[in-house]
Amino acid sequence: MRHKFLNIKLDKIDHAVIKYLQNDGRISNSDLSEKVGLSQSACLRRVKALEKQGIIEGYVAVMDQAAAGLTDNVFVQITVEKQTKELLFEFEKIVRQCPQIIECYLMSGDADYLLRVIVSDASDYEKLHMDVLTTLPGVSNIKSNFSLRTVTKKNEIPFNL
């Protein structure tokens, strides 16, 4: 899966289409076709082909986290007792179901997992910590770091021609 782009030939126009869509997924086909220098029908065919190839996975609305009342980001490192297939499967299943866990990565290094959790404040995190994180199967250590502020957050995935 990580080599998806290697077997697909993308030209400068494909790259331009992807760049514009990453920055504005609601851009009209008319405006997109004008920006990339194609007819509307040719542009739509390109977009559909990129979707069919799985290069464009979907479209989402990016919500203002503070407007949702979830102003704090907490980065949580979790170490599990042992990495059996069954334990990891169950751990990941529960993590996927928790709406406040926005991202979860299986890691190399000191911690087994890195989570990005969004909460309204420290007491909201404490509740999540007690009710969810400490009850995850196989957890032996939890280390939490509160973000002071977001320096940069990007939605565009860079790639070279």
Q: What is the CATH number of the domain that holds 109?
A: 3.30.70.920
Task: Walk along the chain (161 residues) and give the pLDDT tens digit of each residue.
Answer: 444 555 678 899 999 999 999 999 999 999 999 999 999 999 999 999 999 999 999 999 989 999 999 999 999 999 999 999 999 999 999 999 999 999 999 999 999 999 999 999 999 999 999 999 999 999 999 999 999 999 999 888 887 64
For residues 153 and 78, give the distance between their C-alpha atoms in angstroms, rounded to a whole number: 23
Residues 82 and 54 in one domain: no
Residues 138 and 120 in one domain: yes
Residue 155 lies inside a defined structural domain of this protein: no
Dihedral (CA of 27, 32, 34, 40) sign: negative
Residue with tokens 């203002």: 64
Residue 159 lies inside a defined structural domain of this protein: no
pLDDT the model gives residue 126:
98
Residue 15 lies inside a defined structural domain of this protein: yes
Residues 12 and 48 in one domain: yes
What does DSSP say about strands 72-80 and 139-146: parallel, antiparallel, or unpaired? antiparallel
Residues 76 and 141 in one domain: yes
The answer to whether 56 and 21 are in contact (CB under 8 A) is yes
Residue with tokens 């599990």: 80
For residues 6 and 128, give the distance between their C-alpha atoms in angstroms, rounded to a whole number: 41
pLDDT the model gives residue 7:
65
113 lies in which domain range? 72-146
Residues 133 and 113 in one domain: yes
